[in-house]
Structures are given as structure tokens and as C-alpha cells.
Copies of this chain bind each other. A is one copy, B any other.
Amino acid sequence: MAAAIALSQRGRGLSTPNPNVGCLIVKDGHVVGRGWTQRGGRPHAEAQALDEALDRARGATAYVTLEPCFHLSPRGPRCADRMARAGVRRVVIALRDPDPRTDGQGAAWLRQHGVAVDMGLMAGEAAAAMRGFVLRQTLGRPAVTLKLGLSLDGRIALADGSSRWITGPEARAHAHMERARHDAILVGGGTLRADAPRLDVRLLGLEDRSPRRVLLSHGDAPGGWETIAAPEDIAALPQVDHLLVEGGAQAAAAFLRADLVDRLLLYRAPILIGAGLAGVGDIGLTDLAGAHGRWRLDDERRLGNDRLEVYLRSRNA
């Protein structure tokens, strides 16, 4: 299942309007099919894996990060039915599909056709990999990641605004990879005017993965940009399940104030800046007790001289 979840990450930022699912088909200890949701949502991961496995799917075990779909769609066959017809003997599912059009019916169909079904293996990890889809289903909005490139003392630029470069090439390459995994990137009006950022993916072979660009502003957007007036409007952004907020301090604060940040990406350089620009503006905090218990460290790694920390919003608080 861990391998299927890793496959699912390949579709992140590409697969909307469908979830980024991963699927692995194993027969006699050999992987005979691999799939992940393709650009635009089709083919589904299961369909791709079955197409690779061909006859070897008969009697095989399939690992899939989300319950195979059962709802009728003009865009393709129902995966639960395809799996049953292909003769798959057992399907191990991480996450039950929260989409009410499937929601257990895919697993029921498989069982009715003599396929053994196990559901719940690594459900949390699978949900994290499909965070955007899950939040879209449960909260009706995309998953939001806030990225900050900081000095040790929490500055994102010198007082004159210069920020090239705080972090090194490894951290910047990682940030571009993160861009490729998001459907859209958002900045505030101040950042657009000050930096005119391209917000594209400048990684060899991934240039076509540059996300859509969204401006948080009450004014008009320049060509090639979409605009929202408030963080809450992300719910209405079509086909955006994963949104990356890249700055500046006011945009970051607006999303934090609205409690619409699910994930923090902190790229930290081993430098001190002193007087300079802060990464986060006023988030409306009035006492320190209210700040605690909201974030938990999910990942950390060294990137050249810099360090990346990933924090997730604790939703059980």
C-alpha cells in the first residue's frame, strides 16, 4: 500500500477533478500492474493498472488507495466492475470513498462478485496523499499549503524587499517540485506588484506542470491570472484541490486568520537578517494560549545548507 500511495503522489496537481489515486496489482509476488490517476482525471489508477496487467490480473491482489468507483460516468467504466470482470481475487483498499456516489458501493459490488475486500489499510496516509480531494468532499474546499522561505529569525526579505536569495538551490528546486504538485498558486497583490513572480515550475521535464495562478485581490487580475477577493472564495475555484499560498505576509495572514491553512512548508536558511520583512502579518492572535496545539511537525529534512520543516494543522484540537 505504501507503494500505491507513492504512485498516487504522481497525480497530485494534475488529476482534478478526480482524486489522485494510486493502484498496484500483485500476482504471485510480482507487480503486474501500476497506475495513478492521469491528467484531467482519466484514466483512473485502477484502469491504468488493469491495462498494464492484462490477463495477469486474474487471481491477483490489487492495492488501491481509494475505494474503486462505482458511479456511472460518461468518461469511463466503473472501476469496481472492471476489477471484478478482470478476475482480481482480492482488493485491499486504504480509504473508503467519501464521494456519496460511491461511498461503500464499490466495495459492496466487488464482494457481491466474489472478490475479497479489505478496507482501511493505511487509510490515514492515503487520505494525506489525497488531502485536497478529501477536504473537497468533507469541507467543500481545496487543501491549502502555505510556503515560507525564512531566515532563522523569521524574515522573508531585507527591509528593502530583496529576497534573492535567502534559501539555496536545493530548497528552491524542492519548492518548484511542490508547485508541480499543486493545481494553483496564490499570491497577494503586494507580492504581485513588488516581485511580478512567474510562479512556474522550472525543473527539467516538469515545465508543463506549472500550476494556475491566482491573485488574492479586490482589483482586476492581469492576463493569465484568476482572482479571488477573500480566502473563503477558494471553495469556488473550479478544479483546484491543492492550493499553494506563496506570499506575501498579508496573504499568508489572511489565510491563517481564516484558519484555511492545512499545511506549512518552512524552508529555513541558516542566516540572520535582523530588521527586515516578516513572513506573516496580523493573524488576529490576542493571547499566546490560543496559538498552541494548532501545528504538529510532519516531516523535516536537510536541503543543502537549508532545512525544510513541514507542519500540519491539528484538527482534533
Contact = CB atoms under 8 A, between A and B. Distances in A.
Interface of A: 148, 150-155, 158, 162-166, 253, 256, 264, 266, 269-276, 278-288, 291-292, 294-297, 305, 307, 309, 311
Given A153-B150, A154-B154, A288-B158, A296 B282 contact: no
A153 B272 contact: no
27 contacts: A148-B153, A150-B154, A152-B309, A153-B278, A153-B280, A154-B279, A155-B278, A158-B285, A158-B288, A162-B288, A163-B288, A164-B288, A253-B275, A256-B274, A269-B292, A270-B295, A270-B297, A272-B280, A272-B283, A273-B291, A274-B281, A274-B282, A274-B283, A275-B280, A275-B285, A292-B305, A297-B307
Nearest to A152: B266
Contacts of A274: 253, 256, 280-285
A194 B225 CA distance: 47
A270 B287 contact: no
A278 B280 CA distance: 12
Given A154-B155, A154-B279, A279-B153, A272 B288 contact: no
Interface SS of chain A: loop
Contact of A256 (B151, B166, B272): B272
B152 A311 contact: yes
A162 B287 CA distance: 8
Given A273-B288, A274-B282, 12 more contacts: A152-B264, A152-B309, A153-B154, A154-B155, A162-B288, A164-B288, A253-B275, A256-B272, A270-B311, A273-B285, A273-B291, A275-B280
Contacts of A294: 271-272
Contacts of A285: 158, 272-276
A272 B296 CA distance: 12
Contacts of A270: 295-297, 311
Contacts of A309: 152
A291 B151 contact: yes
Contact of A295 (B150, B164, B272): B272
Contacts of A162: 287-288
A79 B294 CA distance: 57
A286 B158 CA distance: 8
A305 B148 CA distance: 21
Contacts of A256: 272, 274
Nearest to A274: B283
A312 to B, nearest CB: 10
A10 to B, nearest CB: 30
